[in-house]
Each structure stands twice: as structure tokens, then as C-alpha cells.
Amino acid sequence: MKNEHWLDQPKNIKLLWRGFIAVLALTVLAEFVVHLHPHFEVEGLFGFHAAYGFVVCLLMIVFAKGLGLLLKRPDSYYADSEKDGGNE
């Protein structure tokens, strides 16, 4: 296998992106023909699952980033202290 895989070519990546966006649009537009049987009121809003999925993911990423500022350490953090007989 050579380095030139079809996934390595930028024009194919662009094609994949277009296909992805087309599928995204289709899943939302399909709501015009499919009845969703909503259990809760919010579920009946047009494109609810799409918008909800997108927004909560943004929020989770932002939250994780924020928490990361507080909790992230270099990955040698424990190795340094446990070398000198820490708690082993």
C-alpha cells in the first residue's frame, strides 16, 4: 500500500464534506414527510434533534475546555513524583 490513499487527496475530502452536508440537510428536511410522534412538546419543534445535538455538543466541548484549564497537567505529572518512592 502506497502513501497515496484516496482519502489523502484534498479533492476527495472536499467531496466527503459536501456529501456530509447534503445528508445533514436531508435528515432535517425529511421531517416534512415523516411524522415524529413526539413524546414531549420540545420534540415536536422543527429540527429539534438536529439543533439539540449540535448545541449540547458545543456546550460540552466548551465546558470540557474550561475544566481543562483547571485540571490539565503535563502527562509526566505523576511519573515525576512517584519516581522517588511516592506511593509505590
Chain positions contacting another protein, by CB under 8 A:
1, 3, 5, 7-8, 20, 23-24, 27-28, 30-31, 34-37, 39-40, 42-43, 47, 49-54, 56-58, 60-65, 67-68, 71-75, 77-79, 81-82, 86-88
Decide: residue 25, CB within 10 A, 0-12 exposed, 13-18 middle, 19+ buried.
exposed
Say if residues 8 and 1 touch (Cβ distance below 8 Å): no
Closest approach, Cβ 16 to another protein, in A, equals: 11
